[in-house]
Amino acid sequence: MYNEAKEKYAKYGVNTDEAIAKLKEIPVALHCWQGDDVRGFDTDPTKPLTGGIQTTGNYPGRARTPQELMSDLDFTLKMCPGTKKINLHASYAVFDEENGGWVDRDKLEPKHFKKWVDFCKKRGLGADFNPTFFSHPKCDPLTLSSPNEETRKFWIEHGKACIRISNYLAEELGQPCIMNIWTGDGYKDIPADRLGPRQRYKESIDEILSEPYDFDKVKPCVESKVFGIGVESYTVGSAEFTLSYAAENKDRCIPLLDNGHYHPTELVSDKIPALLVFFPEIALHVTRGVRWDSDHVVLFDDETKEIAKEIIRCGGLDGKIKIALDYFDASINRISAWTMGFRNMQKALLFALLTPNEALAKLQNESNFTELMAVQEELKTLPFGEIWDEYCVSCGVPKDGDWLNEVKRYENDVLKGRI
Ligand code: RNT
Ligand code: ZN
């Protein structure tokens, strides 16, 4: 069946073996926070999330400890094909007797992530990292943009600690660590001063990035947002703010686009090539917004496919586009949420690699829009599933139709016991 499918693609000038081989080289970061509803292990688990971020649903089986999260991740990774990185948040520090127990976020050290390094090393994974500027008593409610100097200082120290931790992750795992700065700083209602918080935010990021690091190893990013739950009227780190910051600091920082963080008719697929005219590198949070930044599980849908196409067309194969997933659904089995989102991102990338991009661009440049439309439509019904199956098998992971039963078994054997 694969060989028949391969021939059909060959008629359009596409080599399916090459597409499969290339996909195996593209790293995609799997976010640890799907497994425990973004709670982390450093604050009171009974307190709600704050800072413009929210999970909904109470499906049983949430990971409650680092051990549970690691075992769930381990199980998930076995169903995810391709090159994987783990995306960690500072709130996932592991405190134990060996490393002296709990410390607050401004005092975090590489040793608090040793267990994660061991986890990654054992599985040959890279790691990305995020300071956690939300769901913490020191959000007043602002963090890096707070008018309170003590608060702001605390969060700057946290950011610097995270640069050191990112550097540790990069060195230990032998691959660059993307360190993303996102804060939910903003106001529920109409503010009286929109400029002050932004000036302070800029100064705070400047101070964080004054911590020494090698930009080839640690890649700080700045992520923007339109609004968050409870911060509907004003967001300090707006699109204009973060993009301008990244543009002014190209030698030490890169812009990060989360496709849930724009107005519903804006498309990140279109923003990727716009930014790449000006930035040598960009980073992505791939998610699915339903009417707003709802962080639904990534599907194999039109915009995910279009994002993947732009990644491939614009040089994603040479590493200049850093791909990470960012969603959290607590209303369905979390392992399947993780698995489906990751597999769908892989499907979208494979679909993009199976597109004769150069031939299509030629038709566009010749203004042959009739043939362009016809071919683009025909590509949609080629036997993609056969190529996907082949890819899964060659990566040693289950094919579609085979993984869900394994998740159900894990749910019965492991997750049910957590209630
Ligand atoms: C929130 C941002 C941010 C977070 C993660 C947990 O709206 O997208 O990236 O989702 O850092
Ligand atoms: Zn994000």
In this prediction, residue 316 carries a pLDDT of: 83
In this prediction, residue 419 carries a pLDDT of: 74
**Which ligand is nearest to the Cα of residue 229, counting in written order?**
1
Mean pLDDT over each residue of the chain, to the nearest integer: 97
Question: Please, what's the b/e burial string for 176-212 (b: 16 or more CB within 10 A of its CB; e: otherwise)?
Answer: bbbbbbbbbbbbeeeeeeeeebbebbbebbebbbebe
Percent of the chain residues past pLDDT 90, beyond the cut: 96
225 is catalytic: yes
Tell me the backbone φ, ψ of residue 85, rounded to 5 degrees: -120, 160
413 is catalytic: no
In this prediction, residue 47 carries a pLDDT of: 84
Rounded to the nearest 5 degrees, what angle is found at the Cα of 37, between the Cα atoms of 266 and 308?
Answer: 35
Q: How close is the Cα of 205 to the center of ligand 2, in Å?
A: 18
In this prediction, residue 213 carries a pLDDT of: 98
Q: How close is the Cα of 108 to the center of ligand 2, in Å?
A: 22
- Which position among 72, 295, 386, 390 bears the catalytic label? 295
Judge whether 180 and 224 are in contact, CB under 8 Å: no
**Distance of alpha carbon 2 from alpha carbon 130, whole angstroms:** 41
Q: Which residues line ligand 1 (CB under 6 A)?
A: 33, 38, 53, 89, 130, 182, 223, 225, 258, 285, 293, 326
Tell me the backbone φ, ψ of residue 292, rounded to 5 degrees: -155, -175
In this prediction, residue 49 carries a pLDDT of: 87
- The alpha carbon of residue 118 and the mean position of all alpha carbons in its chain are separated, in whole angstroms, by 21
In this prediction, residue 44 carries a pLDDT of: 86
From 258, 259, 295, 298, the mutation candidate for ligand 1 (largest count of ligand atoms within 8 A of CB) is: 258
**Distance of alpha carbon 119 from alpha carbon 2, whole angstroms:** 35
| Burial (Cβ within 10 Å: 0-12, 13-18, ≥19) of residue 22 | middle
**Distance of alpha carbon 162 from alpha carbon 79, whole angstroms:** 30
Nearest to 284 by CA among 328, 347, 221, 341: 221
* Site of tokens 């209602």: 189
| Burial (Cβ within 10 Å: 0-12, 13-18, ≥19) of residue 413 | exposed
402 is catalytic: no
What does the pLDDT look like over 136-158, one tens digit per residue?
Answer: 999 999 999 999 999 999 999 99
Residues of the chain with pLDDT under 70: none
> CA dist 172 to 95, 118, 168, Å?
19, 9, 6
